[in-house]
Structure 1
Amino acid sequence: MRERAVSGHPDSPGRTPGATLPSVTEREDTAKESTEARPAPSGPGDDTAASLGDYRATFYAARVAMAVLNRDGLVLAANPAFGELVGTDPAELVAATAADLTDLGADPRGWTAYREVLCGRSDRMRCTRRLKHPEGHSVWVEVTVEPLTPEPLSGEERMLLSVADISDRHDLLARLRHLQMHDPVTRLPNRALFFERLAAALETASFAPSGTGRIGLCYLDLDGFKAVNDTLGHRVGDRLLSAVAQRLTRCAEAAEDRGPGRGGYLVARLGGDEFALLVEDSTGTDQLAELAQSVLDALQRPFDLAGQRLSVSASIGVVERTATGTTATGLMQAADTTLYWAKEDGKARWTLFDPERNAHRMTRQALSSTLRPAVDRGEFTLEYQPLVGLGDGRAQGVEALVRWRHPQFGTLSPNRFIALAEENGAIVELGRWVLERACYQARAWQLAHPGEPLFVSVNVAVRQVWDSDLVADVAGILAETGLPPELLQLELTESAVMGSAGRPLQALQALSDMGVRIAIDDFGTGYSNLAYLSRLPVSVLKLDGSFVRGFRSQEHPNPADEMIVEALVALAHRLGLTVTAECVESAEQAERLRRIGCDTGQGWLYSRPVAPDRVEALLDAGRHTGA
């Protein structure tokens, strides 16, 4: 609040109790009249006159500073306590402007409330002000203005202004607020005060004509702080937090010294091992990046705590943006996301908020949260890509590839949502749906072309093996659809199959015993264990497309890729396995793979993934071309 200086002599003449309160019609000379005893009133109205005398005596004897005002806010009379407060003889205050004496114009809201009372539109106003006492110190006062009964003789309306010294109460409340708004361990502002300051800073930066109109935030937490508490105890942990707070404060002070006028800094502990450095009126990302790096450098120096020498690091999320349109919640969400990126990227670093990366994260979250309902709503569909024999060019099967027809993001390929489905468990329900639809479609093709049956290949995630009874699901679907087991192929990634033991291996073996073919997808990119390969119930190896890309042309072959593929094909054949090459895009690639001995090929040379109703025509065309 503003502090008003009031000049004048602190001493003021006292008044005898029982002195008469001047009426509004009396002038300054009347206010200075002697207060000697007067004859007792007599006749009609004597009780009223005595009552008025009592009120005037109380007014002048009161220890609370009071003044009577007219409708214009001018002083008609002031008691000795009021004169002492402002350091002026009460008689000299007559006709003075009360708002100037008590600083009622300090803020627009208080001034409006005061004018409402003077105009008769409100019955009372109360506010708190900080005034300068004549002796030099400041006092906190509570100012109250309310109407009095009209003056008996003239009928003029009057106001009573009272000013109560609340300095002791204000100081107590200030101490209580400080305890409430500060962390007892680090003595830094706590979460409540931080958000209060953040809201005020956003409002000021958005509407104040001066300043940069921007705001910055470094949001950090200590890497591995829990281990300190768990191994050394919470007392050492609290000492570490206090020491970290001191270094953060010094970093903020040094930043202010380096760039005076660049905005205020606030260091706060938000809870646990989380801290925030708020920069008001920031000048750009460079300023925040400089501050974040100084914090990292400061925290890398070891801490000596009661004989314990500790080294810690921190991860920091940095956000800097214009204040207009920014909310406290939005700023903290961005900072929290960026802090997560810093930890995800390796910890002990600062990371700047990236709107594009955040948009990707938000999209990812939106997809993850709607995966399960999307299965029930029928938003998924299957496309099929032929698996063609390299020897005769005839289609032997198709791979079922799931697509998500998302109402907001359009048609999505598996690489946009399969990993999410595996993370949140929706892959079990989705995988069961894909398996069922693919088997129904394969059975329909078998019935339409009984002489040339096509097998269908379906991708299976490891989580489907762990979180569901895959063997029972496959057996039930085959029985329901009537599809022979030999016309179903299940594809698992190399990293999922290699090293399988326990339940996964048992499931693979049971499926193989059932007659279902097992294929290792993307072979050659994982952790190949060729010795273990011979003990797995695997029928097919699907070579990753990265090997086939070295076969692009006869003029610029990649001998290493060709030698690797040739060795893998020979090894697979020795083990009784067939080999499928992925990503075949040209006739030259197909011919070279055929010469090496690869069994089947899959890729855009034959067809992109298509809807079921286009598969038969594409396969017929492929047969004629291959023949």
Structure 2
Amino acid sequence: MNILYTLEQTVGQAKPYEIVVAILIVVISTAALFFLYRNVINHLRMERKERQAINKETKAIKEKKEFKLFSKNKIVTSSNLKDRINEDIKQTKEGDLRILYSIDIDDFRQLVEKYDQKTIDKITSEMDKRLNKFSDQKNISGHLEKDKFLYYYMGQVNNEVIAQLGDQLLSVVNEPLKVDDISVTASIGVVVFPYDGIDADGLLKNADLAVYVAKKEGKARYHLYSQDLIEKERFNISYYEEIKNAIDNEEFLLYYQPIVDVKTGKIIGLESLLRWQHPEMGILPPGKFLNVMDLTGDITWFGLWGFERVVKKYSDWLKEFRIRQLFISINLSPKQLYIDDLARKFYDLTSKYGMKPDNFAFEVLDYFSINKNHVAMTNLHEFRKYGFRVAIDDNGDNFELADHMQDVAANIYKIPRNDLLMVMDNDPLSEDIYRVVKAAKDNHKIVIAEGVENTEMIKKMSEWGVRFMQGFYFSQPVDVDTAKEMVRKSPWNMDTFDEYTK
């Protein structure tokens, strides 16, 4: 009562404009509180929707990653496939044996580069279904990750069963796919529990080593793990996995070494070289990784992968500035040349970026090791038909190249660095080397001297009528940006080498 009386008394004593101000304050405060309340409610609603969207997306990603993997009686996923194997191992009795087949699709990286994700998903899905169809109650099978599938056998184990299942699994994989008429093969590593591992991880680790050896021996086969492989191949397999991861992590870099015309000072070509920016060992040259890829046969898709990056980079340069006559050379190993229709694959890559084949040269390593192989020689002739340049630097054991120069499907002959060193040392074989050089010039081949390190070498090669050279005297292999600037404006001119070429 006293409070009401006080309020009434206060209002009664207030002036009219004070009452208006008070009312306005109350109205504004009420409105502010209303809008604040509405904003808080809207914010909470939005947060709830975002959480629902995130949960939905997370669930979708999880479902996508956990491919459905099949056994006869139940579906398993990639997240619990190893758990199922470990569960069976726990239930084994003394004397029980198990076989694990680790199945890797060959040249899977090449498929990923060539096809879209939808097609790749279809390929892995079809493989899954094939294993499911092949399965019975005595195994666990499924897609573990990427290009890897597992087949775990829980029946009676003996050498005959191991071989029989290996052959059957190869047949299952090798059947033509229903997806775009794609054919694939697989390399399989075989391990036996408990001799080669006492849990899923241990078995898989050793199975990976056996897979590596299967690939190294030619792919499309299985290889049984044995203890002696640890000493022989353990370093290589870990290195091999590092290399494959390096591609995903974009650790490979392009480097270039210029090929110079000493008469004009112009750069007529670049030899492209891959370098590996290893996270621990720094920049590594090709010799540190290409031999491992060559052993496993992965040099085929790796070569195509590297070539596409060379083509794309050249295409990017042409969009930035004008480039006159210039070719970029790429090394080809014998194993690459044994692949049917290889030339067409390279031609398709140049067409993809609107480039002309004569912008590129393929340097064939160990020509006389492949000159009797029909597929390899067909590829070389096809390269020339498509318009690519082809270079060789193999004279033969007895310098027989000089007598067969007119039959060689190459328009460039490169004098190897070792031959150049012999010439500079006045080695008795210098006459044979000169005979090869003369035969190349007589057959209108471009002759390039490799490994030029000083002005004396420039003088000697100039006396032999050789005007195109490369080597550390001109430049070490340089990164992309440095090479681009060299191509844009050559560091040399017509007068640079005058005193050495007269």
Whichever structure has more helix as a proportion of its residues is 2
**Larger Rg belongs to:** 1
Q: Which has the higher contact order (CA 8 A, sep 6+)?
A: 2
For normalisation by structure 2, the TM-score amounts to 0.49
For normalisation by structure 1, the TM-score amounts to 0.40
